[in-house]
Chains A and B, each alone.
Chain A
Amino acid sequence: MRSVNEHINQSAQSEQNYNFAYLDEQTKRMIRRAILKGIAIPGYQVAFQGREMPMPYGWGTGGIMLSASILGPKDCFKVIDQGADDTTNAVSIRQFFEKVCDIEVTQKTANASVIQTRHRIPEHSLVEGQILVFQVPIPEPLRFIEPRETRTKKMHAYSDYGSMQVKLYEDIVQYGHIATSYAYPVIVHGRYLMDPSPIPKFDNPKLHMSPALLVFGAGREKRIYCIPPYTDVKSLDFEDHPFSIQQWDQACAQCGSHDSFLDEVLIDDQGGRMFVCSDTDFCQQRQGNSND
């Protein structure tokens, strides 16, 4: 029987047999061309030929394919899942790229050149040159209004977005306010209606005139779309019901932040709860801890 160490050595060697960043070059070129088209037409969903990845759909295969096509040996890579660097999804994707790219990884937003994210935009403001890769479950913002792809394709071609305004209006009629709190629809560069992926609407203002390049990948639905840096991104609203973001009465229980996105965490079975920052790196930095 082989020892554990022999086994680890063997599997470490076998990973060297994969191409850099796992994907083959033909696939990377196809994805790269789709990204370039996505940048030329901000907010438009470019179809691409998704590949089977060594993990199931829903684990961020779209984001992983984008990251694999973007990353190079000089990059520093960070992965977050709901703002956290230390959740299963984030850890496994980070380890995956450490294995297949042998690149530097970080948990610090400021140090990363490429950040793959699920459902959040980091609190620490991004800078020019950084690339934020979003994992997207359902790229089509009109899908729950119109299930047929042939029809939504035409709705985008004609900028026929009245039905989305009606959906928000129905919220107001029913609840008195726009109840959509995540995946809040936006108009990009005054033209395309776009689903910003299930980020809380708290993060929507960060999309507008972002200094970083934002790329979105949906693996199951095989769509790529992008927002170039410094692009106008407007959240849909009404004159008398302007767009607003979530606010909390509490501050983060760990770092005391009043202006970050907070998660509500149950801490016992007596109904006790606390609010903590969803962005773990931001919270740690504020507490003065280095986590690298």
Chain B
Amino acid sequence: MTIQSGFSQPVLDSQACFRQVLAALSEPGSVNTLGLHIGFEPLAASVCQIVLSLCDNHTQLFVDPSSLMESQSTLDNVIENIKFHTDTKISDKSRADFVITSASSPFVAEDYKSGTEMYPEDSATILLETNSFEGGTLLQLSGPGIEHTRQVRLGHIHSSLLDALIQPAYKYPLGQDFIFCCGEQIVAISRTTKVEISACM
């Protein structure tokens, strides 16, 4: 068990990371870079920075063990580091505000919070580790934050996740917001974003 250092300047670094996440979510499909922390191995740097800047003892975090970690001790080490720096609560899938999982593992939207008609904000933000933003199916996005359309590739993602993006399990305003993370880069897909498989390949 080793505790690694967090942000070198917690106040300014979390502000800078928040602004990148803000830009990513307000312009779905745009690639934004979080380069202020190397991350807790084997999690992507961007995933760790989002957690470091947004999670605290008022949020619940679920780290999907099956899809990410090589061994139980690696998982424990990552969770200890996250808990040490953020004091966030580790919870099960159904109650998590933030979820860390892999884009290449099967995705079941019903596992996570999606809000209620009265409180649609009570829903999970899902951080998905992916392998690249250059490979994978070419997707066309439209909706709030996108002037006309925007094209994006999300790397190798599981077919169930692709289905969930194209046909969300919940009717707006219910739903979940996705942040795809690859190394230091992030691409967000909001619940308002319409995702289609791009016609021009």
Closest chain B residue to A75 by CB distance? B19
Across the interface, which residues of B come within 8 angstroms of A29, CB to CB? 14, 53-56
In the bound complex, do residue A229 and residue B27 qualify as a contact, i.e. CB atoms below 8 Å apart?
yes
Across the interface, which residues of B come within 8 angstroms of A191, CB to CB? 172-173
In the bound complex, do residue B58 and residue A30 qualify as a contact, i.e. CB atoms below 8 Å apart?
yes
Q: Does B70 contact A (CB under 8 A)?
A: no
Shortest distance between the CB of A225 and any CB in chain B (Å): 10
Q: Does B197 contact A (CB under 8 A)?
A: no
Interface residues in B161-189 (C-beta closer than 8 Å to A): 172-173, 175, 177
In the bound complex, do residue B145 and residue A228 qualify as a contact, i.e. CB atoms below 8 Å apart?
yes
In the bound complex, do residue B144 and residue A230 qualify as a contact, i.e. CB atoms below 8 Å apart?
yes
Closest chain B residue to A69 by CB distance? B18
Interface of A is mostly: mixed
In the bound complex, do residue A32 and residue B54 qualify as a contact, i.e. CB atoms below 8 Å apart?
yes
Interface residues in A48-78 (C-beta closer than 8 Å to B): 69-73
Q: List 23 A-B contacts (CB under 8 A).
A: A20-B15, A26-B58, A28-B15, A32-B18, A32-B22, A36-B21, A38-B121, A41-B120, A41-B121, A42-B144, A42-B192, A70-B19, A70-B22, A72-B15, A129-B23, A191-B172, A227-B144, A228-B25, A228-B144, A228-B192, A229-B27, A229-B147, A230-B147
Residues of B within 8 A of A (CB): 10-12, 14-16, 18-19, 21-23, 25-27, 53-56, 58-59, 97, 117-118, 120-121, 123, 125, 143-147, 172-173, 175, 177, 190-192
Query: Nearest 7 A-B pairs (CB), nearest first?
Result: A157-B117, A37-B121, A231-B144, A228-B145, A228-B26, A72-B15, A228-B144
Residues of A within 8 A of B (CB): 19-21, 25-26, 28-30, 32-42, 44, 46, 69-73, 128-129, 153-154, 157-158, 189, 191-192, 209, 211, 213, 226-232
